[in-house]
Amino acid sequence: MVKHLPSSYKVNDVLKGVSRKEGIKELLYATDKDKEIILLTGINEPQNYKGKKYEHDDEKYIKNFLN
């Protein structure tokens, strides 16, 4: 995915995760809640992998992680 980013992105500033959950977790660790806002798009949309759809609940995962 990183190779498809526009040239304006600094590759060293892009967070990478092996899964959406890991990416969200890394993002939550890397941001300053007092200075930054996280905009998570596609929230609760099913993930597509090899033609199969997998349901997930990002909001529930984030709330559990933060508690």
**Residues 7-63 pLDDT 10s:** 887 777 777 778 888 888 888 888 898 998 888 777 677 778 888 988 878 888 888
pTM higher than 0.75 for the full model? Answer: no
Burial 11-37 (b: 16+ CB within 10 A, else e): eeeeeeeeeeeeebbeeeeeeeeeeee
Q: What is the C-alpha to C-alpha distance for residues 33 and 19, in angstroms, rounded to an integer?
A: 22
